[in-house]
Chains A and B, each alone.
Chain A
């Protein structure tokens, strides 16, 4: 079943970040085996001395390239990276990532909002990476963001859904898609994000640093699918006391 995001019809609710991969050459196999349709990339200066393979040669043509603005320290720098990304790929999907805090890499929500306003005006599909703040998510939705990408935990920490109580209100209250990003270290984290009702999940570090990134990506993709299916069925509330799932064996003690 397809769903709509950033003006496209997608099937997969799992997005992959391409940072730290041992080789770009595994990307085609990863895409094929997981069914992912969105992959993020970053923009960096070329170093002619260390000639690398170009990641663009390995991303299958049907994938949507989401350029991230990592390295930007303010809205102006994020806007410049977005324009470069569009120039290079023709893709208008941009993940706004503005970080000034080197230790926890937490996003600067205020600069992110500024960049979003400018880039929406230039016709971009803007995907802001934010700390899970409902008020900011509402402002971003109003500014025309294509989705919001609240973090589950700081980037690369593998801590999982540390703030469900802050993510759930965003999922419940805003009308644009919510993609849970960062901190997803295990398939169970990805499933939990989807059970909460997220529209999609993005993972990078846990996949890229696994001994076999393709296998880990498959595990994550399955978890995303499982979590989504469960969400669509409606999850049951917790109860204080047991509620027998087998019929009660009343016949055993009839004589008592």
Chain B
């Protein structure tokens, strides 16, 4: 299992795969694994471990 934006999801080996399996838009988003930013160029190769907490974030309106 991997926690994606607070919800348990089946394990995926890479960030790229995790995002596409869960139908996440990948343009203009940032990804954090256990609180640390993983740069986009590393998404295809960054090895996720079971239990990792992944956050996918983007911009919204805000003051």
- Most A-side CB within 10 Å, residue of B28, B58, B61, B63: B63
Given known A45-B6, A54-B58, contact A205–B63 (CB-CB < 8 A)? yes
Q: Mark A42-53, 1 if CB is under 8 A from B, else 0.
A: 111111100110
Give A13 to B6 CA distance when docked, in angstroms: 40
Given contacts A46-B5, A46-B24, A48-B24, contact A87 B59 (CB under 8 A): no
Choose one: A48, A68, A83, A89; the contact of B63 (CB below 8 Å): A68
Contact of A44 among B27, B39, B58 (CB under 8 A): B58
Interface residues of B in 30-53 (CB under 8 A from A): 30, 32, 35, 37, 39
Q: Which residues of A contact B29 (CB under 8 A)?
A: 46, 88
Interface size class of B (residues with CB under 8 A): 20 to 34
Q: Is A48 a contact of B22 with CB atoms below 8 Å?
A: yes
Closest chain B residue to A42, Cβ basis:
B62
Min Cβ gap B5→A in Å is 5
Query: By DSSP majority rule, is chain A's interface helix, strand, loop, or mixed?
Result: mixed
**Contact between chains at A46 and B63 (CB < 8 Å):** no
Any A CB within 8 A of the CB of B57: yes
Residue of B nearest to A80 (CB): B35
In the bound complex, what is the Cα–Cα distance between A52 and B61 (angstroms)? 11
Confirm or deny: A204 has a beta carbon within 8 angstroms of a beta carbon on chain B: yes
How distant is the Cα of A212 from the Cα of B21 in the complex, in angstroms? 40
B→A interface (CB under 8 Å): 5-6, 22-25, 27-30, 32, 35, 37, 39, 55-63
Instruction: Beyond A41-B59, A87-B37, A155-B63, list 13 extra A-B contacts (CB 8 Å).
Output: A18-B63, A40-B63, A42-B59, A42-B63, A43-B60, A44-B58, A45-B5, A70-B63, A87-B30, A87-B39, A88-B30, A88-B58, A202-B63
For the complex of A and B, the 6 pairs showing the least CB-CB separation, nearest first, are: A42-B62, A17-B63, A204-B63, A18-B61, A19-B63, A41-B59
